Chain A
Amino acid sequence: MKYIDEYRDPQIAQALVQKMAKQVTRPWVLMEICGGQTHTLMRYGIDELIPKQVELVHGPGCPVCVTALEVVDKAIEIASRPDVIFVSYGDMLRVPGSSSDLFRVKGQGGDVRIAYTPMEAVKIARANPDRKVVFFAIGFETTAPANAMTVWQARREGLRNFSMLVSHVLVPPAIRVLLDSPANRVQGFIAPGHVCTVMGYRDYEELAARYHVPIVVGGFEPVDLLEAISMLVAQLEEGRAEVENQYVRAVSRDGNLPAQRIVEQVFETAGRKWRGIGNIPMSGWRLRPEFAAFDAEKVFGLSEIEVPEPPECISALVLQGLKKPFECTAFGVRCTPENPLGAPMVSAEGACAAYYRYRRHTVAS
């Protein structure tokens, strides 16, 4: 398919690997933020193809994985009510809450539905005026415009039975937390291409300058990622720390302005708790007060809760690139995609699931 197949060309991939082999003189640790990129890297074995000196660690860029346990528990509570139709992206259904998951709620008779687009939830609300329809609005900057447009649409139509449980997270504050950590090993970042499609990459220029760390905006096909890695290695070897854009065909420096505008009108920045990482100030978006009537937390009067993670799950370390999934004692034993203990084992974009699926049980480090 156009814009996919040509970026999977094995000959070009090999040339990029060869170029990299000539570039590298020292070991480097690079992190891809986005779970979609983690998935491509594992699927095509890019981590094993590149020179041994270049180590890839995987970042916290899987929205399913970082949605706080408390939020999952709230979703489960709402979805269990008999007057509710709970609509979610499919990946969230199997994410373990502290005692259940949405899939089980559905099995026990809860009306839990999967939607491909959030606009589907508005349609469901329109068709079911006597039920309360709640959409589980999670995601990074990439997903926010669609979710924002959905609330906007609901308000324009004057829907009274529609609300959203919002748990949006933002990439740049998470990168800052990783770089501020004394345990940080990451020397260069592949910035998430689709997040930058929406937001552009000005925020990353500030990070690159402040922390003297090279950042390359990368696409999602094997050749995109190899090229992004090669660009990072070149910067590191030359001692540069700039933002470069590998994914030029889809990303501009300013991003998508109409998409940013709707996000700005609907959401405001707020602190957010990340599963496994903890509270990060100004790292999320919540609904603006004007949209309070569509805010599920307010509609259902949910109180703040605090629940502990399963002790065996080391997802916090995995999501910060400090440990590889196979270093977790539960990996592949008590935690599998069929029976996930922690969130990174659920979504295909989660690092644990990607390692399990592509059999990286023992990768030499």
Chain B
Amino acid sequence: MCLAVPGKILEVEQQVDNRVGIIQFGGITRQAYLDFVPEANVGDYVIVHVGFAISRVDAEEARRTYDLLEQMGLLEGEGLKAGVEGDQ
């Protein structure tokens, strides 16, 4: 039940008391409350847990982390098996 997944905001609307978004998760879309992420807007990614967005995914940070990791993958990807097995 602790599952929280990133999804993309497709639409935002104000319902009576709440700010509500239509969020796309892979192939499906679902509604989520956006009250805790006032800064998030259409096109942003948010992490949704039990129907509420709890964080906006920082696109720049996500890319930076990933690029960093990818660099490492490309630089050190080869000869992996030998490295790991040699250690045991």
Contact = CB atoms under 8 A, between A and B. Distances in A.
Interface string A1-27: 111101101011011111101101000
Q: Which of B18, B35, B36, B84 gathers most chain A CB within 10 Å?
A: B36
Nearest to A143: B50
Contact-residue size bin, chain A (C-beta under 8 Å from the other chain): 35 or more
B33 to A, nearest CB: 7
A67 B45 CA distance: 32
Given A2-B45, A194-B54, A142 B6 contact: no
B52 to A, nearest CB: 4
Interface stretch (A246-254, A282-290, A323-331): A246-254
B2 A18 contact: no
B51 A118 contact: yes
A249 B63 CA distance: 9
A223 interface: yes
Contacts of A6: 66
A142 B76 contact: no
Contact of B8 (A2, A35, A156): A2
B2 A62 contact: yes
Given A36-B2, A146-B49, A259 B61 contact: no
Contacts of B70: 9, 12
A90 B76 contact: no
Contact of A1 (B25, B47, B62): B25
Contact of A18 (B1, B4, B55, B83): B83
Contact of A146 (B47, B52, B62, B72): B52
B88 A90 contact: no
Identify whether the interface residues of B are mostly helix, strand, loop, or mixed. Answer: mixed
B62 A21 contact: no
A122 to B, nearest CB: 11
Contact of A117 (B8, B17, B52, B66): B52
A139 interface: yes
A347 B1 contact: yes
A18 B26 contact: no
B58 A248 contact: yes
Interface residues of B, number: 44
B17 A153 contact: yes
Contact of B83 (A22, A91, A248): A22
Nearest to A259: B36
Contacts of B6: 1-4
B45 A117 contact: no
Contacts of A146: 33, 49-52
A15 B2 contact: no
B73 A21 contact: no
Contacts of A14: 73, 77, 80
A142 B84 contact: no
Contacts of A156: 17
Interface in A306-344: none
A341 B83 CA distance: 43
A50 to B, nearest CB: 9
Given A3-B62, A15-B77, A194-B49, A145 B1 contact: no
B77 A258 contact: no
A117 B3 CA distance: 12
A145 B58 contact: no
Interface string A52-95: 10000000011110000000000000000000000001111000
Contacts of B61: 248-249
Contacts of B88: 51-52
Contacts of A9: 69-70, 73
B52 A149 contact: yes
Interface of B: 1-6, 8, 17-18, 25-26, 33, 35-38, 45, 47, 49-52, 54-55, 57-58, 61-62, 65-66, 69-70, 72-77, 80, 83-84, 86-88
The 10 A-B residue pairs with the shortest CB-CB distance, nearest first, are A117-B51, A12-B73, A249-B62, A21-B87, A3-B6, A259-B36, A11-B73, A1-B26, A249-B61, A146-B52
Given A4-B6, A91-B1, A116-B51, 13 more contacts: A1-B25, A4-B26, A6-B66, A17-B84, A52-B88, A63-B1, A89-B1, A142-B4, A143-B1, A149-B52, A194-B49, A197-B54, A250-B58
